[in-house]
Structure 1
Amino acid sequence: MDDQDKFSALSNPTRRRILTWMKDIPDAFGKSAGDAREDVCISEIQRKTNLSQSTVSAYMAALERAGLVTSERRGQWTFFRRDEPAISAFARKIAKEL
Structure 2
Amino acid sequence: MTDRLEQSKALANEARLSILEWLSDPDAHFSDQVTGKPSEIGVCVTLLTDKLGMAQPTVSRHLELLRRAGFLTVNKIGRWSFFQRDEAAVVEYKEWINEHL
Quote the offset at 1:37 in angstroms: 3.1
Per the alignment, residue 29 of structure 1 pairs with 30
> What CA deviation, in whole Å up to 9, does each residue of 1:60-98 have, x standing for no partner?
000000000000111110000000001101100100110
1:97 aligns with 2:75: no
Superposed, 1:43-82 pairs within 5 Å as: 43-82=46-85
Q: Which runs of 5+ in 1 are unaligned?
A: none
Secondary structure at 1:67 match in 2: coil
Please give the TM-score of this superposition, normalised by the length of structure 1: 0.91
Secondary structure at 2:28 match in 1: helix
CA RMSD of aligned residues (A): 1.5
AA in 1 matched with 2:89: A
Quote the offset at 1:29 in angstroms: 1.8
AA in 1 matched with 2:7: K
Please give the TM-score of this superposition, normalised by the length of structure 2: 0.89
Kindly report structure 1 stretches of 4+ aligned residues shifted beyond 6 Å. Answer: none
Q: Is the 8 A contact 1:72 1:80 kept in 2?
A: yes
Q: Which runs of 5+ in 2 are unaligned?
A: none
Per the alignment, residue 83 of structure 1 pairs with 86
Q: Is the 8 A contact 2:73 2:85 kept in 1?
A: yes
Distance 1:43 1:22 in 2: 14
AA in 2 matched with 1:27: A
AA in 1 matched with 2:57: S
Q: 1:81 to 1:73 in 2, by over 3 A?
A: same
> What CA deviation, in whole Å up to 9, does each residue of 1:11-62 have, x standing for no partner?
0011001100001111112348xx7532101111001001000000000000
Percentage identity across paired residues of the two chains: 33
Distance 2:37 2:31 in 1: 12
